[in-house]
Amino acid sequence: MQGPADATPVFEAQKRAPAELKAVAEFLRGKNGPKVRRGILNGKRVEYFKGSTAIRTLTGPAYQKSKKVPEVKDEEAAKALLLKVLPHAFFLRVDRPTLDPPPPAGTPKTLALAPSQSVDEKGYYAWFYDGSPLYTILGGVAMVAVMLAGVMFPLWPIKLRIGAWYLSMGLFGLVGAFIVLAIVRLIFWCITVITMKRAIWIFPNLFEDVGFVDSFIPGWAYDEPKTKKRRLVKKSEKKGSKGSNQVKVSIANGVDAFSNGGANAQTASDATPAVPDAVSLPSAVETQSTGVSTPSSGLKHRQTTVEDAEED
């Protein structure tokens, strides 16, 4: 698909951008920029972000500390600044069309360029700028240098080879010490689980997402259960208590029904004459076979009336 004849290439539009607007694009593309997502635009993988996150980034403290960038006081100023950067094609607004059938969860979203380019908090913007090429060039040169140095290791002077050997042994020692420390803290935790009411972790932040120094602070701490597990336990306890209350209520109702049924049967048997009771004995036996229990006093009374009838 070809663009219009007077269309400006993306590279040329970025090259014509003023220095301050280019500095804004550099900041947004850097580590302090808005969170990016993965998408597919014209069959290629791209990164895109949401307009609201870019506005929050420009009004955040990290941008305020930056130099060589325009001043931003509020969200309206941030929107105006993004609108100035937009024509230079560092990023362009895109839409996320609804597909039928929808793609599986976790796959990159399909994107399409928006017909009208504007700044909106709910809009999405795809990056067409990879940042300063200086870091890419330096990274490539460093990678080539490391590979050449590794290949030419036999040609190194003896002192450099000995120094590299000691350095490698030191690194292996650090890795081994870390593994030993992880095993020791696990064994100590298992011992405290058995012997104490609350388990203890040595260096509890060792595997947390913190800095190197913060990984060893504090030296020890109690093993605190997670809040999510506590909430789940409380919910399960509430459900269990509700179920037990329902069972208790149903049992109580059954006992009351049973006692009322026995009393009613007993009063009915006392009110009837002897001969009809002797005739209706099979019906009483049938009720017992179907699972309906009758009081013992009523059965004894009916047995005596049957015997009297047989004697007559």
Dump pLDDT digits (tens) for 28-70: 998 889 999 999 999 899 999 999 999 999 999 999 888 888 9
The confidence score (pLDDT) of residue 224 equals 79
> Could you tell me if residue 74 is inside a domain?
yes
Q: Are residues 251 and 182 in the same domain?
A: no
> Could you tell me if residue 122 is inside a domain?
yes
The confidence score (pLDDT) of residue 102 equals 83
Q: In percent, how much of the chain has pLDDT > 70? A: 70
pLDDT surpasses 50 at 266: no
Average pLDDT of the segment spanning 74-86? 92
Q: Are residues 90 and 28 in the same domain?
A: yes
Amino acid identity at 225: P
Q: Are residues 145 and 87 in the same domain?
A: no
Beta strands in 71-166, from DSSP E residues, in sequence order: 91-95, 109-113, 124-127
Residue 36 · residue 130 · CB < 8 Å: no
> Could you tell me if residue 156 is inside a domain?
yes
> Could you tell me if residue 2 is inside a domain?
no
Q: Are residues 170 and 92 in the same domain?
A: no
Q: What band does 209 get if pLDDT is binned at 50, 70 and 90?
A: confident
Please state, in angstroms and rounded to a whole number, the distance separating the CA atoms of residues 68 and 71: 9
Q: Which of 67, 99, 131 is the last residue of a domain?
A: 131
- The range of the structural domain enclosing residue 47 comes to 10-131
Q: Are residues 237 and 303 in the same domain?
A: yes
Write the CB contacts of 131 (distance below 8 Å, at least 6 apart in sequence): 26, 29, 30
Residue 203 · residue 221 · CB < 8 Å: no
Global model pTM greater than 0.75: no
* Cα 24 to the center of its chain, rounded Å: 33
pLDDT surpasses 50 at 288: no
Amino acid identity at 260: N
> Could you tell me if residue 168 is inside a domain?
yes
Residue 70 · residue 83 · CB < 8 Å: no
pLDDT digits (tens, 9 = 90+) for 141-177: 999 999 999 899 889 999 999 999 999 999 999 999 9
Q: What band does 296 get if pLDDT is binned at 50, 70 and 90?
A: very low
Q: How many domains does the chain have?
A: 3
> Could you tell me if residue 147 is inside a domain?
yes
Average pLDDT of the segment spanning 184-195? 93
Q: Are residues 17 and 127 in the same domain?
A: yes
> Could you tell me if residue 73 is inside a domain?
yes
Q: Are residues 92 and 32 in the same domain?
A: yes
Q: Are residues 16 and 109 in the same domain?
A: yes
Q: Are residues 86 and 146 in the same domain?
A: no
Q: Are residues 261 and 204 in the same domain?
A: no
pLDDT surpasses 60 at 235: no
247 vs 122, higher pLDDT? 122
* Cα 208 to the center of its chain, rounded Å: 17
Please state, in angstroms and rounded to a whole number, the distance separating the CA atoms of residues 91 and 54: 11
Q: Which of 202, 222, 242 is the last residue of a domain?
A: 222
106 vs 48, higher pLDDT? 48
Peptide bond into 276 cis (omega under 30): no
The confidence score (pLDDT) of residue 105 equals 81
The confidence score (pLDDT) of residue 192 equals 92
* Cα 187 to the center of its chain, rounded Å: 30
Q: Which of 200, 222, 244 is the last residue of a domain?
A: 222
Q: Are residues 38 and 125 in the same domain?
A: yes
Q: Are residues 199 and 86 in the same domain?
A: no
The confidence score (pLDDT) of residue 210 equals 80
Peptide bond into 218 cis (omega under 30): yes
Average pLDDT of the segment spanning 261-277? 42
Beta strands in 62-157, from DSSP E residues, in sequence order: 91-95, 109-113, 124-127
Average pLDDT of the segment spanning 203-226? 85
Please state, in angstroms and rounded to a whole number, the distance separating the CA atoms of residues 112 and 97: 7
